[in-house]
């Protein structure tokens, strides 16, 4: 049961090309977001579409794969864990961010 703790699995489409950073330490970081879509019927029987955006990050080899193969519009499946962090913005206000740290990625949809 321990391997179910803090586990996230998502299938969605990239809203923009990943942002890739090469850090001074030699590590590579990929930052990107995906949209997941869900539809349901409300009490009146109307179909409602709900889109949620998820911020994702990946390090190392996973970031290299993302840099090479993942582009805006691609459908991907990811597995990772939630990370919460905070920082102070330029005006001194505390900001909170929730991201998914990706440890596995699967490209869906076939070759274009």
Q: Could you give all domains of the chain from N- to C-terminal order, each with its CATH number?
A: 2-107 (2.40.50.140)
> For all residues of the chain together, what is the average pLDDT?
92
Alpha-carbon dihedral angle through residues 103, 25, 21, 77, given to the nearest 10 degrees: -10
Residues 6+ apart with CB under 8 A from 88: 94, 95
pLDDT at residue 37 above 60? yes
Task: Tell me the per-residue pLDDT of 58-74, one tens digit each, with 9 for 90 and over.
Answer: 999 999 999 999 999 99
């Amino acid at each position: 049961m321990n391997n179910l703790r803090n586990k996230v699995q998502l299938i969605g489409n990239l809203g923009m090309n990943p942002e890739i950073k090469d850090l001074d330490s030699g590590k590579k970081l990929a930052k990107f977001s995906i949209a997941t879509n869900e539809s349901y019927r409300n009490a009146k029987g109307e179909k409602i579409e709900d889109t949620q955006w998820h911020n994702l990050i990946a390090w190392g080899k996973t970031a290299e794969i993302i840099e090479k193969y993942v582009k805006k519009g691609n459908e991907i499946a990811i597995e990772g864990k939630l990370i919460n962090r905070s920082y102070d913005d330029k005006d001194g206000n505390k900001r909170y961010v929730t991201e998914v740290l990706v440890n596995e990625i699967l490209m869906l949809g076939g070759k274009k």
